[in-house]
Amino acid sequence: MAGIFLGDLRVFGLKSAAVPHPDGSHRLLYCLESPDSWFEDFGEGRLVDGKVEVQLDPDFASLVEVDGYHVFVTPYEESKGLFVAERYATGFRGA
């Protein structure tokens, strides 16, 4: 089903996209409101000896483009310049 809307559109309830999964089924993904179409995954990690590895949820990674994704990091304690050192298809490494 597709539609062209002229005027206001109001949605009561959740908005989701049914994205094909490699196993033949579909998964519902919810996107943020933005000028571009993005899906998000959230995770946590903790620096140990100044390094951290954070894995993407495998189900999520199988549904989205994993080349050149964005990583937003939030330090919850003092750090000496937290940054993303490497991104790969299954996660990323921070330092």
Angle at 31 between CA 46 and CA 75, to 5 degrees: 20
Position 22 in a domain = yes
Position 11 in a domain = no
Average pLDDT in the chain: 89
Structural domain of residue 79, as residue ranges? Answer: 16-94
pLDDT attached to residue 8: 87
Position 89 in a domain = yes
pLDDT attached to residue 22: 94
Q: Which two tokens stand for residue 86?
A: 């490497």
> pLDDT below 70 — which residues of the chain?
1
pLDDT attached to residue 33: 78
Position 9 in a domain = no
Give the integer Cα–Cα distance in Å for 49 and 35.
38
Give the integer Cα–Cα distance in Å for 89 and 67.
7
Give the integer Cα–Cα distance in Å for 45 and 29.
23
Q: Which two tokens stand for residue 37?
A: 């179409």
Total domain count for the chain?
A: 1
pLDDT attached to residue 1: 66
